[in-house]
Amino acid sequence: GSSLVVMAGPDGNEFPNPGIFLEVVPGKKIVLTDAYTKAWEPSEKPFMTVVLTFDDEGEGKTRYIARVAHWSVTDREEHEKMGFHEGWGQCADQLEEVAKRL
């Protein structure tokens, strides 16, 4: 299926990143990439492939790991300047809030 990751900067600028899911293991793993847009249509400028894993740690806790492979060192550096580390930390915080409401 299709995915859409929208990165929002502190200045309000948004960076939409359409892609596709490569693998989904319910409750365990999500892999998505922007190398393709819908179906297997190549994107104009691939930026990253994301692997998210979730492991039950017991006592209502889950280990969440986000791994991102960029297409080039330049892309990685650009993503870091955009707030990559802080942004993925915010994603983890937002996921925690959603999980608390379930």
Q: Which residue has the tokens 């200045």?
A: 11
In this prediction the pTM is 0.78
C-alpha dist (Å) from residue 60 to 28, 63, 96, 102 = 15, 10, 11, 12
38-55: per-residue pLDDT in tens?
778 899 888 889 999 999
Q: Which fold has domain 2-101?
A: Alpha-D-Glucose-1,6-Bisphosphate; Chain A, domain 4 (3.30.530)
Q: Which of 46-55, 59-68, 83-92 is predicted least confidently?
A: 83-92
pLDDT-based confidence at residue 83 (cuts at 50, 70, 90): confident
Token output for 30: 């999500």
Secondary structure of 59-92 as H, E, C letters? CCEEEEEEEEEECCHHHHHHHHHCCHHHHHHHHH
> What is the pLDDT, as a whole number, of residue 20?
94
